């Protein structure tokens, strides 16, 4: 499942975030890449350990972690550290698959869902599409600034070359309480149905109670705390 969510819809907040991002220091993205990724990665990554990076992290993380659609779709158990990536001057990130395990020791986590938060308006750069490949075909994604895209970490994906301007995004990963993608998608569909029914039916209606029971029991069956 690929999902695009307006995580930062307020233009004033995007402008404020842009000012924070402008203070970041950038380094060659290959410094943090594995041997395979180094061969297909041509971008820059922000230094997040400095005060400017910490300020950006504190601004962005609540927009993702507290988003109700992210909670319903991803069923998060834990989030990775976020990274900011800048691609320009023909830079790209060729076809690759994300590592199954991220971090080490106490921060080690399984990557179930990858996310990309787009911070640059698509009119400000050419190319730079996020392309997610699956058995059913490929999907090219270039949403407005402020949109968060969720997609399976198990998929092969890439960033097409940026031929004009620069593309800045925030990326990270989610370990879900429910590792099976199909089960997560089914629960999201049920949550959407429940929301629609709650808007049209009186509270306590038998059908709503039965739906509440079904959702709760499916979570009991599938959740791995």
Q: What's the mean per-residue pLDDT of the chain?
A: 95
Residue 151 to residue 196: CA distance in whole angstroms? 25
- Per-residue pLDDT for 127 more than 90? yes
> Could you tell me the pLDDT band of residue 225, with boundaries at 50, 70 and 90?
confident
What is the average pLDDT across 129-134? 97
How many angstroms separate the Cα of 45 from the Cα of each of 16, 121, 184? 20, 19, 31
**pLDDT attached to residue 136:** 87
pLDDT digits (tens, 9 = 90+) for 61-74: 999 999 999 999 99
Top CATH class of 3-176 equals: mainly beta
Q: What are phi and psi of 52, to 5 degrees?
A: -65, -40
Strand partners, 156: 133
Contact (Cβ atoms closer than 8 angstroms) between residue 190 and residue 72? no
Strand partners, 69: none
Count CA atoms within 13 Å of residue 175 on its CB side: 16
**pLDDT attached to residue 33:** 67
pLDDT digits (tens, 9 = 90+) for 154-179: 999 999 999 999 999 999 999 999 99
Residue 133 to residue 118: CA distance in whole angstroms? 19
Question: How many residues belong to the chain?
Answer: 225
């Amino acid at each position: 499942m690929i999902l695009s969510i307006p995580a930062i819809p307020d233009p004033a907040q995007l402008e404020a975030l842009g000012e924070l991002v402008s203070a970041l220091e950038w380094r060659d993205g290959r410094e943090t890449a594995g041997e395979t990724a180094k061969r297909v990665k041509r971008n820059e990554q922000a230094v997040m350990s400095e005060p400017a990076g910490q300020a950006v992290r504190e601004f962005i993380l609540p927009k993702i972690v507290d988003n109700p659609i992210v909670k319903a779709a991803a069923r998060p158990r834990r989030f990775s550290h976020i990274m900011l990536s800048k691609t320009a001057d023909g830079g790209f990130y060729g076809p690759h698959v994300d590592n199954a395990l991220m971090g080490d020791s106490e921060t080690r986590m399984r990557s179930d869902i990858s996310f990309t938060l787009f911070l640059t308006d698509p009119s400000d750069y050419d190319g730079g599409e996020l392309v997610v490949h699956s058995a059913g075909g490929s999907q090219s994604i270039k949403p407005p600034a402020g949109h968060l895209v969720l997609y399976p970490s198990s998929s092969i994906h890439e960033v097409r070359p940026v031929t004009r301007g620069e593309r800045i995004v925030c990326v990270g990963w989610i370990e879900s309480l429910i590792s099976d993608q199909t089960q997560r998608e089914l629960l999201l569909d049920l949550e959407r149905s429940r929301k629609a029914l709650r808007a049209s039916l009186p509270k306590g209606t038998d059908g709503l109670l039965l739906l509440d029971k079904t959702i709760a029991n499916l979570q009991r069956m599938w959740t791995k705390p």
